[in-house]
A and B are shown apart, each in its own frame.
Chain A
């Protein structure tokens, strides 16, 4: 014990360096999570009081028995899968294209064009997209009409609202995954491709058997990042649809926020915990699956 204390005292300057970081991490990282889990076991009406009423797993039972939540969870999972595939797929395609020498000097311009939305404040981007889809103001339908094509119902119909959000989010996010692919492509071993050419491999074989295995790390990281990103889809819903029409875009984050806003703290935090568990399990799953695939 005293040995440990002695070590701490000898290294007190490092504790001093780490102190502000530790304070912020605990206050605004660890404490909120603990608090959230704690609140999820209390009755909403008493959640903010000094001595809340403990209700055990009641909030979790309520939440899991709530058909709206179950529907919302299913919707979130479908949206997440579609978005992960679309974003990572498009990002990979664009990275390969922009990494090739086919575009010569255009490369930087194209990268900037696709990456600019990543640093554009999401609220601003989604506000513009919301109006792009608008029936009377929007450029989208005006362009379709100009081409003689039928109108796109966009955010106003439950059938197309999800797709509309997906496209807007693709615009905002895919550039981020693209630069991770590009960074990975830049450090690959090009000599292997030359060797493959000498061995008579065609373009597809080089891509599939030489390049793709080398960008597996970026593929795994991007998939995990995208999973975390789209499981918690929120801003785009707030800006563009408010969960509608007909709950078609009412994803778990937004639903939880609505409950929180209504003072149903217990249920809202129970949903948060469920979603957190899902994020952890799915992310670990991708990592483990990716590792096993790599080991084969």
Chain B
């Protein structure tokens, strides 16, 4: 899987010496990384390593205390999350954050919020342009529903779905905004083998068919090593290793971070 789409592409996302403190805790300290256009980029590391903080800073939820985050040449380190979504970054959450009272369809329509324009008065009348816009976006959403095989569930409230399906709907919502960079926070956490395989296939399909750049956090090493173009390993808020899966796998610092000793040759 190495060096197919990843190498040679332009830089999509660039972290430059990014640091973040929470009170006295240094969650992330001086992390630099580059995510290339069209690749799948994974962040791994033990719990509390600062992986999610990196994702939260990229999606504008936190702002870094030091360093800068650059997306397609624009500095986004101080940009508000709602603005970042309209720049073309979308994400999913570790703990599912769906709009539980709304149907699958409405959740996905909300994913296209930034692409729609209807204002209050037009919505009140629901006439002409407002209705046309709804229908147009519905057509795009239906493509995603088809792609993720959610056809029979489109009018089910998201809160009533099984866990694995909710994860899939959340991926759909993130895809609906037609992002150029997709951030996935543990997309396969808590899934059984079958659900994981499904999810991996969707992630690969998104990457290959739509050319979406993907940055993901995942604990399942098998998955990470199989699908990633590049892997960044973090521990205690610092980047301890970076490279292709093979390079990372053999890195003694990675083995130490995970197992505490250097006696082992392989990461389980």
Q: Do A and B come from one complex?
A: no
